[in-house]
Amino acid sequence: MKTLIAGNWKMNGTRAFTHDLCNALTNHVKTPNADVEMLICPSAILIRDARDSIKDSPIKLGAQDCSNAESGAYTGEVSAGMLKDMGCDYVILGHSERRSYHSEANALICEKSTQAKDKGLIPIICVGETLKKRIAGKEFDVIKEQLIHSVPKSIDDFVIAYEPVWAIGTGKVAEISDIHAMHEFIYTILSEEHGRAVADKTRILYGGSMKPSNAKDILAVPRVHGGLIGGAALKAETFNGVYDIACGV
Ligand code: PGA
């Protein structure tokens, strides 16, 4: 399975920023790599500029969220169909920032994932425990609950991103042994819920303060199939750097 190096731009950038960053990425990733895929997920309003800037390159395009509804009177929402129409292949769903700032519950994320799948997008479904839950020794319970209730039973083409909430944007990275244990656990739950065949082909990304200085160690962990990268995805040097490490350059 292809390692996925995914950039989550969050609410950052302008059209000029998008153009400059995409140019620096396309100058670096000129030909497809058989084992590694680069993905950028800009803010919805910048997707069109990003699409135009990365056309003719192997870099993939994704969004950071979509509606659980197909279309209609949902002011401010963006549908999965619109994202597909705009050239997206992926959509990040259930990011911890949406779970906490927008009170997104597992059931909603599950509906959004179904919408994404129905429109031909691959959902990147995020799971992660808070520091409080980890200190209380409840991290596996939280992840199991999120996996069971956020991932629709009916889909077989999706990506999981394990992002411990306390490691996002903080510079703190989970211990390698903890990442390993959690990714094994996620694989086990996916096998139980979706069967071995699906678990075996599902990529499990790590996210949380990933950057060139730690990417080699993290990407070497068994059952880590890439990264969901925030801060380091906003600079060509660091995002290309993580991509190169994934390629073994
Ligand atoms: P970070 O963000 O790399 O800045 O920690 C990761 C994410 O939130 O997806």
169, pLDDT greater than 90: no
Query: How remote is the CA of residue 165 from the centroid of ligand 1, in Å?
Result: 9
Mean pLDDT of the chain: 97
Alpha carbon nearest to ligand 1 atom 7, residue: 230
Contacts of residue 224, defined as CB under 8 A and 6 or more positions apart, other chains included, come to 179, 180, 183, 204, 205, 206, 218
Query: How remote is the CA of residue 10 from the centroid of ligand 1, in Å?
Result: 9
Tell me, what's the pLDDT at 162?
A: 98
User: pLDDT digit string (tens) for 85-144?
Assistant: 999 999 999 999 999 999 999 999 999 999 999 999 999 999 999 999 999 999 999 999
Ligand 1 close to Cβ of residue 230 (< 6 A): yes
Is residue 37 classed exposed, middle or buried when 0-12, 13-18 and 19+ CB atoms within 10 A define those classes? buried
Ligand 1 close to Cβ of residue 241 (< 6 A): no
**Ligand 1 probe mutation, 228, 235, 242, most atoms within 8 A of CB:** 228
Closest CA to 95 of 199, 207, 181, 218: 207
* Contact predicate 197/228, CB 8 Å: no
Residues of the chain above pLDDT 90, percent: 96
Alpha-carbon distance of 121 to 91, in angstroms, equals: 7
**Ligand 1 probe mutation, 179, 209, 238, most atoms within 8 A of CB:** 209
Tell me, what's the pLDDT at 201?
A: 97
Per-residue confidence band for 145, with pLDDT thresholds at 50, 70 and 90 = very high
Query: How remote is the CA of residue 21 from the centroid of ligand 1, in Å?
Result: 18
Query: How remote is the CA of residue 86 from the centroid of ligand 1, in Å?
Result: 24
173, pLDDT greater than 90: no
Is residue 69 classed exposed, middle or buried when 0-12, 13-18 and 19+ CB atoms within 10 A define those classes? middle
Alpha carbon nearest to ligand 1 atom 2, residue: 230
List residues with catalytic annotation: 95, 163
Alpha carbon nearest to ligand 1 atom 6, residue: 230
Ligand 1 close to Cβ of residue 228 (< 6 A): yes
Is residue 66 classed exposed, middle or buried when 0-12, 13-18 and 19+ CB atoms within 10 A define those classes? buried
Ligand 1 close to Cβ of residue 5 (< 6 A): no
Per-residue confidence band for 171, with pLDDT thresholds at 50, 70 and 90 = confident
Query: How remote is the CA of residue 5 from the centroid of ligand 1, in Å?
Result: 12
pTM above 0.85, yes or no: yes
User: pLDDT digit string (tens) for 218-248?
Assistant: 999 999 999 999 999 999 999 999 999 999 9
249, pLDDT greater than 80: no
φ, ψ for residue 135 (rounded to 5)?
-60, -35
